[in-house]
Amino acid sequence: MSTHHEAATPPPTALDPGRLPVPALIGLFVSGFIGILTEALPAGLLPAMSHTLHQSISVTGQTVTVYAVGTAAFVIPLSVATTHWRRRDLLVVALLGQIVTNAITALSHDFMLTMVARFVAGLSSAVIWSLLGSYAARIAPEGKQGRAISIALGGIPVSLALGIPAGVAIGSVASWQVAFWCSVGLTALTIAWVLATLPNLPGLARTERHTALEVLNLPGIKTILLVVGCFVVAHNILYTYIADFLDDAGLGDQTGWILFVFGAMAIASILLVGAQIDRHLRKLVVGSAFVFAFAVLVLATLSGVAVLVYLAAAAWGLAFGSSATLFTTAVVARSGPAAEVANTLMISIFSGSIAAGGLIGGVLVDAFGSHTLAWVCLALVAVSAVVSYTAKRTAFPLDQGSQAHG
């Protein structure tokens, strides 16, 4: 595949100036779906995987952690190293990386080989995440970039709500290896779709490239990243240990249904936000933070009341489901031609916050018990809510709709 770029990247133009390129956006949607599926699939298959790899469940669980570490630590350097590659070529290479590493994982009986494969899978995922938001913005018509990003990143909550449970079901009926082979097959089909529908946009010319430090110093970027970090750490503290939290509340036997409500509302969030994001980005970001805070407050104070826990899970799913879309759109809007680098910063914070949430949550559970989780989450979400509300000039301006440019 060619990695040459043109002397100067032309201004981003839509495939059709008046219409969203839905087939191309579906390719990005499924690519994101695969990234999340590959990351989290072992979590639902740990008992069987641990038996095959001759490790404890807790040790085998590090196959998820090492994936997240690879994504968080290398998304920025990989983005810089590949900035001159044509975008579709780069996406296809990353998806091929997912095929190879998932195949190795399915075939491996050696724990260290599996860990290496999972780490490399995380690197492939870093490339995928760095592309999705800016790619969608570049091929969308002016004024519809937010909606395009919403579709492209919609694979995240859909994978959490449907893809991972489906993988777990396949693993329980057949074997955990079959679940990974199904992922390999889906990825191969996705590559064919991407090649047929996505334009092979040029990378950035040397004179157009931006450093991470330059982008970090753009007005509003640091504030957005602070909001992202607090929001995602809070989510992952609670989501990772939700089973323990609900057990302590006497609702352990309803964990599956509560998570189903969360997932269903996360999917609904995509539809609701996608229809309004280009006109009401600030309101949606601030509203999501406050809705999340309300949900966590209910869980902190009324976790013994089942109906309220279900309502809180619904509000939580509604707030979190489109969070990646909202934050990506905000970053793209504030960074203009440096959108790809800004997006990698956001992904690094997002992925790092996932790992940090799991670590902090584990410490809290061991030291103080799971009943403390919601209170710590509430403090973090309160920071996100207050900062997003008060950042009216640069990060989330009062007149902000989608101003994303590729």
Determine, yes or no, domain membership for 395.
no
Only one residue has tokens 């601030």, namely: 286
On whether both 245 and 179 belong to a single domain, the answer is no
CB count in 10 Å sphere of residue 402: 25
Q: What distances in angstroms separate CA 188 from CA 31, 100, 109, 154, 176, one per listed residue?
A: 11, 11, 24, 20, 19
pLDDT tens per residue across span 47-74: 788 899 998 877 887 888 888 888 888 8
392 φ, ψ to 5°?
Answer: -90, -10
Establish if 399 belongs to a structural domain.
no
For 277-306, write each residue's pLDDT tens digit: 888 899 999 999 999 999 999 999 999 999
| In a shared domain, residues 202 and 218 | no
Number of domains within the chain: 2
* Domain contains 111: yes
For the record, the structure tokens of 205 come out as: 């010319």
- Distance in angstroms (rounded) separating the CA atoms of residues 136 and 146: 9
Between 16 and 212, the more confident residue is: 212
CA distance 217 to 113: 40
Whose tokens are 């899970």? That residue is: 313
254 with 109, same domain? Answer: no
Residue with tokens 């992922």: 183
Clarify whether residues 302 and 204 are in a common domain. Answer: no
Range of the domain at 55: 22-208
Average pLDDT over residues 355-380: 89
Q: Quick one: 72 and 147 in the same domain?
A: yes
Same domain, 145 and 228: no
On the question of pLDDT at 196 being above 80, the answer is yes
Last residue of a domain, one of 185, 208, 231: 208
**Does residue 296 form part of some domain?**
yes
The more confident residue out of 309 and 210 is: 309
Domain membership flag for residue 396 = no
Same domain, 99 and 204: yes
**What was the pLDDT predicted at 170?**
84
11 located within any domain? no
The pLDDT of residue 84? 87
Give the CATH number of the domain where residue 62 resides.
Answer: 1.20.1250.20
The rounded distance, in Å, linking the Cα atoms of 134 and 337 is 10
Q: Indicate the pLDDT class of residue 127, thresholds 50, 70 and 90.
A: very high
